[in-house]
């Protein structure tokens, strides 16, 4: 479905806002909502805050400490997976999306909580601008892998056996990025990922790996903000 929007050219932030807000059309009263992480979902969160102020009754489960803070700022009622183990709809961003709606996520380092929330959701809606849609995963974005600190250099070596360059994510030189779970992130740069299904499985089999950023078969819809308007890709349409 292609909806025309005004103007020939929309800046990237406008495309993200379009996609981020469009996803809220799938939200109804009394739903439990998984709330993703990232700059695109931030538009979803801001708009969701408006809808809640206008009377929408939902409870949200944030996928990161950052998202939790944003949701609190917007007075969005929050709950937990312990209280609500089944989530109705999760809205999240992605770093790459292929034509099978498989994803790379984890640019913001929230991949483990995001995957737990996605896995426990009846519906996962991904919101991206059109720069994230790729022919083959791994082309534009390194695959993030969350690893425990203990033995991380050994884990890094094992990951290099997959034929990728592996870098410890840092917030500044010499200062590693720490996830909300207290772990490191190793960014694995592949030329391309030809078999994401097998790779997801193989990486998660390495001792020391907590989770990797391949989201396979989890997304139900991908809402793409593009210069021509909004394109919604559906899992059912994938052959």
Catalytic residue set: 114
Residues 6+ apart with CB under 8 A from 152: 168, 184, 186, 208
State the greatest distance between any 2 C-alpha atoms of the chain, in Å, as a whole number: 53
Q: Which residue in 159, 167, 173 sits closest to 186, CA to CA?
A: 167
Applying CB under 6 A, which part among 32-40, 49-57, 182-190, 222-230 lies near ligand 5RP? 32-40
Among 10, 24, 35, 36, binds ligand 5RP (CB under 6 A): 36
Counting Cβ atoms within 10 Å, is residue 81 exposed (0-12), middle (13-18) or buried (19+)? middle
**105 belongs to the binding site for ligand 5RP (CB under 6 A):** yes
Nearer to ligand 5RP, 34 or 38 (CB): 38
10 Å CB burial of residue 137 (0-12, 13-18, 19+) is: buried
Q: How far is the CB of 140 from ligand 5RP (least distance, A)?
A: 12
Size of the site for ligand 5RP (CB under 6 A): 17
93/207 with CB nearer ligand 5RP: 93
Q: Is 201 left (phi over 0), alpha (psi -120 to 50) or beta?
A: alpha
> Is residue 39 at the binding interface for ligand 5RP, with CB under 6 A as the rule?
yes
143 binds ligand 5RP (CB under 6 A): no
Phi, psi of 193 (to 5 degrees): -115, 105
The yes or no reply on residue 131 touching ligand 5RP (CB under 6 A) is no
Q: Give the one residue of 19, 21, 27, 37 binding ligand 5RP; rule: CB under 6 A.
A: 37
* Contact set with ligand 5RP (CB under 6 A): 36-40, 92-95, 105-111, 114
């Amino acid at each position: 479905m292609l909806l025309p929007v005004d103007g020939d050219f929309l800046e990237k932030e406008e495309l993200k806002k379009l996609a981020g807000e469009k996803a809220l059309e799938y939200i109804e009263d009394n739903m439990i909502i998984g709330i993703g992480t990232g700059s695109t979902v931030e538009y979803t969160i801001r708009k969701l805050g408006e809808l809640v102020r206008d009377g929408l009754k939902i409870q949200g489960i944030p996928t990161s400490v950052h998202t939790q803070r944003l949701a609190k700022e917007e007075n969005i009622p929050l709950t937990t997976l312990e209280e609500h183990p089944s989530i109705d709809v999760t809205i999240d961003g992605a770093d790459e999306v292929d034509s099978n709606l498989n994803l790379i996520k984890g640019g913001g380092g929230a991949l483990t909580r995001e995957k737990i929330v996605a896995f426990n959701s009846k519906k996962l809606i991904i919101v991206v601008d059109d720069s994230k849609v790729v022919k083959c995963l791994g082309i534009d974005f390194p695959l993030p892998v969350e690893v425990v600190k203990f033995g991380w250099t050994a884990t890094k070596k094992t990951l290099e056996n997959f034929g990728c360059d592996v870098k410890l994510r840092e917030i500044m030189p010499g200062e590693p990025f720490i996830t909300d779970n207290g772990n490191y992130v190793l960014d694995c740069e592949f030329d391309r990922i030809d078999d994401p299904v097998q790779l997801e499985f193989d990486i998660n089999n390495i001792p020391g790996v907590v989770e990797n950023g391949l989201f396979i078969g989890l997304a139900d819809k991908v809402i793409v903000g593009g210069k021509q308007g909004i394109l919604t890709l559906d899992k059912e349409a994938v052959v």
